[in-house]
Amino acid sequence: MVKAIDQKLIALLKKNARISTSDLARQLDLSRSTIQSKIKRLEQEGIIKGYTLVYGDEYENQLVTAHVLIKVVQKLTEKTNRELSNMPEIWALHAISGDFDLIATIKTETTQALSRTLDEISNLQGVERTNSSLILETKFNR
């Protein structure tokens, strides 16, 4: 179970992973060494897996983003998931309930690149069918 203070620390890091330990300590009213210890423990426990790059809104808004529903032959699910994970255009892949098995979030720089990616997904062994929806506008993203 994550303690309340750890949840506050995680929220601050999620908002800005580059925030200094001094600033974290000041905002949480703790010492720098306590903050460093908490971060190290959260990393060791696997609660914090890593730190990542987040695109700026201006660049992000230039990308073509789509959600792709994917129906997979059940016997080939694991193989298909591995092949999908090797495609850099796929930012996230989720197992879902309903008529489809997976939903992928795809980001490309052009509609032509999106079309090529969709063709590549459709041609994978084990993919029965897909259904794509283009993201027109993101209202908010956490």
What sign does the dihedral 107-111-116-121 (CA atoms) show? positive
* Tens digits of residue pLDDT in 85-101: 999 999 999 999 999 99
Count Cα neighbours of 39 within 13 Å in the Cβ-side half-sphere. Answer: 22
pLDDT digits (tens, 9 = 90+) for 17-69: 999 999 999 999 999 999 999 999 999 999 999 988 778 888 888 899 999 99
In the predicted model, is pLDDT for residue 120 greater than 90? yes
Task: Please say if the pLDDT value at position 131 is more than 80.
Answer: yes
What's the CATH number for 57-134?
3.30.70.920
pLDDT for 20 equals 95
List the alpha helices (DSSP H) in 86-128.
Answer: 111-122
DSSP state of 45: T
CB atoms within 10 A of CB 68: 22
**Which helix (DSSP H) or strand (DSSP E) does residue 91 occupy?**
strand 90-95
Q: Phi first, then psi: what are they for 66, rounded to 5°?
A: -140, 150
Q: Return residue ranges of the chain for CATH 1.10.10.
A: 4-44
Q: Find out if CATH 1.10.10 is the number for domain 4-44.
A: yes
Q: Where do the CATH 3.30.70.920 domains begin and end in the chain?
A: 57-134
Region 63-85: mean pLDDT is: 96
Query: Is the Cβ–Cβ distance between 35 and 42 less than 8 Å?
Result: no
Measured at the CA of 116, the angle between CA 111 and CA 119, to 5 degrees, comes to 125
Query: What Å distances lie between residue 108 and 60, 66, 81, 111, CA to CA?
Result: 10, 9, 20, 7
pLDDT beyond 80 at 141: no
